[in-house]
Structure 1
């Protein structure tokens, strides 16, 4: 019997059809090419733009002390680590950084220890797969959690239950109904597309009453929240042995990587069990060396000054925006979302701003829910009052023009 020979060109045609569908729904994404360090004013594709899209919240990515430390680290340790941490890639720089991070978060954790990872994505995968490494475990996941937490829950052997955004009562009902001997509640601290804060005090209270872990992904809080920049735990003045803290070091800290901080025994379990830690080459030691300089800035007077400057920029944007149809979501964080609704309208708004020299990305599904496409404005300490005024004026004008255009269309 003669078998049909597959037409391999059909494989490419199938992929192209998927890309065409994304394009038709205004969901195709593209990259721009930054040609200068992360900063409010950045050269992008040969043109200077005023950027409101970076997570460099404290302006440390190009800070001279951090850059000098990175250069010194490369001189001391070379360009790469050469192996995984558990083989031969764990350097003195990594060890010093982990000790410093543990000491930094110690006021909020019992017998604190920290473990450094290449990325925040890997750290979240590691924690959930290590703690949830049993079908007897159950993970209670916030509905708006970051993709890395969702994927970590999927990869874990534990059962998964999703609770509605910020709904403490619904979570309590799920915890009461669960007979799992190991319960793990996991949440972002600052939600990356909405800018709001999880109700961490209430969540921790539930976890302590029901004997559950509370895993907090503080990607957008570490370095920014709290009087000393320790993040969401300091912001809410929390301390508990039930806490497992994940801090990102490529945002406010300005360099790269992430860390898990918790009780020494929890961190040891992650080190022993987590495949994302065991089976990957350690990050370059030079990055860890640079992060020591970054951490010193965050914890010192300059860090406090930069956090105060960021809060001033947030307040200025709040005062200057006068939107009619678009909705600025309530946020006291560096993330300031402006919901527009339709994908094509959000893309058009981003494009119009780009024409004026303003870099503000349009965020569309599946990152956000259908019908809630938005401009995601992120502010940083290095922005000036004039920068914020320029952005607000452009947004007010653009929204008013779009509102008038839509009114004319509805009346036609």
Structure 2
């Protein structure tokens, strides 16, 4: 069994020698440090959400509506607290993954390579964004375990190229994001005119792709503005006609597990399972796409009930702590993707900042599971109630 919980013992021991933690443990305090470390445009891009940001606020607030129900005297509870989970036949030491976040070069110079090092230290898989700042093959060399997130482009041949590259490079799964046929209405970005793609940021997987490059008259210019490559990217970024039919085509391109991310309805979950997907990620993109949408956590029980045991259900959106992870797992999530918290750790302290955030979340999760008398994978609806 992993002993992430022992991390807090080390923190207290170090403190007796006057060595206090360099970074805070509350998300809000870390976010404030990140705001000081980042330029206004990049910070607004990460922190901001759609419209009046009601969905993002609802994601966080939803966790307060669900209360854990500890049972300390549960038989066998003295051995509880293991965080290991099995996903698609693979055993993982924890149920945590880093959510796909694009354009990390605007957060830290080492971008995805720093995320990989921070995640590797704890055995946490990273989910690599299509809009990464580092080509997937380079990330594959740095990351111990990684999944590939696909923004399905308008060009199906490019989608196929991305999936085949990820498979060849050693990805463990393909995660298709379905809720981004176009960018949501994001007032913070609009107010600053900040769209990093127009500065050729977040395009490493495109500029390194032979299918994408074959469409260009000249080689892309890294760092260039309004190049031919940028215009081609803007036209190809997302497919407006993405459907279950498209997703079923991935089976011709890879034998990896296929998940669809951005599901908040039971009826759509059923359609996707019938189309043959292996997993779903209940998510509203952290509130970045549709304002006033349902909180992802409130949608989780509906999707879990609709799917049953026919596909693995994962979760993201609004997670800020290990206790939040425990709530999501008790409501049926098999694993949880964490987003903004580790991005702020990256901004403040690079790979060490990512590791700090992940380690703190896992320590709290393991302590919570032990006090619940459960292994993380065994948390269920009996362990949570709606307030």
For the superposition of Structure 1 and Structure 2, which TM-score range results when normalised by the shorter chain?
0.3 to 0.5
Greater RCO (Cα-Cα under 8 Å, separation 6 or more): 2
TM, length-normalised to structure 2: 0.33
TM, length-normalised to structure 1: 0.32
| Larger Rg, first or second structure (1 or 2) | 1
